[in-house]
Amino acid sequence: MKKAFIILAHDHPEIVCQLANSLLAGDSHVVLHYDKSADAAGQSQFEKLVDTSGGRFHIAEPVGVRWGEWSIVRATLNAIDVLCELGKSFDYVSLLSGSCYVSKPMALMDEYLARNQGVEFIESYDGENHRWIIEGSQSERWRLYHWFNWKATPRLYSFATRMQKWFGVRRGLPHGMTPRIGSQWWTLTWSTLVTIIEMSRDGALDKYYRRTWIPDEHFFQTLVYHVVADKARIKNHNLMQYSFDDYGKPRVFYNDNYCNLVASSRFFCRKIAPSADALRENLDCVANMASTTFLAHINTPLGDNLLSSEPVMHPISRPGVYCFTDVILKDGLRRAKLERPDKQVAINYFVVICRNLSVLGEVRELINQHDKLCCHGRLFASDRVELEVSGIAGRHCESYSVEQRDADQLGFFLKSAWKNATAS
């Protein structure tokens, strides 16, 4: 499988180089666009990587990128131009950011793409009839003209938006295209990208998208839908595990999210915290694994079922937050760690996360058959506290009301965890 990767970055050059090396390990080509307005301190690191990569690491012509504007799409197109100039034919090209990372072996990705040859992995939702944006405007992004940047000049941006709505301004897309929207990140076939590059030279498209707000979530999504005749080829999801909170802010992964990421149904993840050095080192090892070794490592039936469901997001761990950092493997239970900024306490305790209450009940019953384990129910259900473990003598079954629990949720949780750990 001939793969290429595009990295859009603007800081942390040492992390960008680490990501590039992880991708290059799969015998792929990598093109970096490094923001023209960013600190030039990393240029020497990039040039060294160009020299040592065997002609597989390339640097695109830089542009000064401003969030929400056409420049970020221009940066992506510049990187695709570099791939075109190589004179090579690729099977797939993936778009990543400098804060993304590989979470599966490159060999496993090759196998998956080979089984799905010709599929376009990109979110491309109907922008007029599907609400994709969590918070803020959606259709106004392409219907109205945008001369001002909302982050730089919010008052001017809001004024221009109100005036256009008042006058009934409604732009139409060039060539009768249907507006589509979705995540910026994608994995697309080379033939589709070549067609998009040719279309991008159309002056009407360039003029239109220069006045479109956040075009990186609209440009490729719309053009892919326009140029791909067989819509069934558009998978409508990408290969990236990501999530946003209720305010549209991206979730961030830390060192203790390793198990979540490798067991997810995606090949990449974002955003990785700059401080998560241990996480990146572990994921580097994963990227170089053989498929069989990796599947045995996580002991989960990815294979043909990979990407059969949406990724499950777990609570984010930050300094000051208690979290458990291990998983159950089929060959036995592994000791978890309850982490705090100032200490680590090793305890025999883990958390089961499941959306299906029926399955959760079966798992709870199975775990409680083990004479040294105690699995409570839903400790933080809105109407109950399922601490009791029926029919098992000697287990901690102190009762709490919802009010008692909610008066000190952290104290309640730690007390329950610690008493069971010291009793085992």
pLDDT at 6: 98
| The two three-digit tokens of residue 176, written as one number | 């009768």
pLDDT at 350: 61
For the cut 60, the answer to whether the pLDDT of residue 320 exceeds it is no
Instruction: Using pLDDT thresholds of 50, 70 and 90, give the confidence band for residue 101.
Output: very high
For range 380-384, the mean pLDDT = 81
CA angle 19, 24, 27 (to 5 degrees): 155
pLDDT at 424: 44
Q: Which amino acid is at 255?
A: N
For the cut 80, the answer to whether the pLDDT of residue 190 exceeds it is yes
Question: Residue ranges of the domains in the chain?
Answer: 3-128+178-305, 323-423
Higher-confidence residue of 306 and 413: namely 413
Instruction: Using pLDDT thresholds of 50, 70 and 90, give the confidence band for residue 38.
Output: confident
Q: Read out DSSP for 122-162?
A: ---EETTT----SSS-STHHHHS---S-TTT-HHHHHHHHH
pLDDT at 382: 79
pLDDT at 87: 92
Q: Which amino acid is at 8?
A: L
pLDDT at 354: 62
- The CA distance from 346 to 282, in Å, is 21
Are 38 and 11 in contact by the 8 Å Cβ rule? The answer is yes
Q: Which amino acid is at 239?
A: L
Cα 385 from chain centroid (whole Å): 33
Bridge-partner residues for 30, per DSSP?
Answer: 5, 57
Burial label, 324 (beta-carbon count in 10 A; 0-12, 13-18, 19+)? middle
Higher-confidence residue of 306 and 180: namely 180
- The CA distance from 173 to 160, in Å, is 20
- The CA distance from 321 to 319, in Å, is 6
In the CATH scheme, what is the code of domain 3-128+178-305?
A: 3.90.550
pLDDT at 333: 37
Longest CA–CA span in the chain (Å) reads 76
pLDDT at 415: 67
pLDDT at 57: 96
pLDDT at 334: 36
Q: Which amino acid is at 35?
A: D
pLDDT at 113: 94
pLDDT at 375: 77
pLDDT at 245: 66
For range 29-53, the mean pLDDT = 90
pLDDT digits 0-9 by tens, 107-145:
999 999 999 999 999 999 998 888 888 777 888 999 999
Residue percentage of the chain with pLDDT more than 70 = 78
Instruction: Using pLDDT thresholds of 50, 70 and 90, give the confidence band for residue 214.
Output: very high
Nearest CA to 326 among 314, 312, 311? 314
Nearest CA to 15 among 281, 288, 318? 281
**Looking up tokens 């050095």, which residue turns up?**
277
pLDDT at 388: 67
pTM over 0.75: no
pLDDT at 419: 55
Instruction: Using pLDDT thresholds of 50, 70 and 90, give the confidence band for residue 417.
Output: low
**Number of alpha helices (DSSP H) and beta strands (DSSP E) in the chain:** 15, 13
Instruction: Using pLDDT thresholds of 50, 70 and 90, give the confidence band for residue 41.
Output: confident
Backbone angles phi, psi at 367, to 5 degrees: -65, -40
Residue percentage of the chain with pLDDT more than 90 = 51
For the cut 80, the answer to whether the pLDDT of residue 404 exceeds it is no
